[in-house]
Amino acid sequence: MYQPKTVYGKPFTLEMCKDCVGEGWHDLVTECYNICVKSNIDIAQVKEKFGTLRFYISHGTDKVFCEIGEICNKSAYICEQCGSPGNLLSVKGWWKTLCSNCYEKTKEKEK
């Protein structure tokens, strides 16, 4: 079975990809990862940036880039922490996509 690699040639497992973001986005990461496995595409980086999921790949067709882009766009409406419907919000100068419950918990932790 094809195993996507990082740009440094090390295996980039699904668990490593999931560890880069909150639990709420694990399904989105899995979708992107499966596209890469099916298309034999190396994963360069997975992260949260400006409150949304970023899933960078080494190469791919326009179709693959569009599929991954559409999945990442969904992250602006899914709470990164729990996976419930969420909104892109500014929290103390940082952009995060959170549901109302996780937003309140985040505000409580900052007090």
pLDDT in tens, 4-40: 665 566 678 899 999 999 999 999 999 999 999 999 9
Instruction: Report how many domains make up the chain.
Output: 1
* 44 assigned to some structural domain: yes
What percent of the chain lies above the pLDDT cut of 70? 89
* 19 assigned to some structural domain: yes
pLDDT in tens, 90-103: 988 889 999 999 99
Average pLDDT over residues 59-69: 95
Contact 48, 86 (CB under 8 A): no
Q: Tell me, what's the pLDDT at 96?
A: 95
Domain that holds residue 87: 14-110
* 65 assigned to some structural domain: yes
Q: Tell me, what's the pLDDT at 11?
A: 72
Per-position b or e across 8-27, b if 16+ CB within 10 A of its CB: eeeebebeebbebbbebbbe
* 9 assigned to some structural domain: no
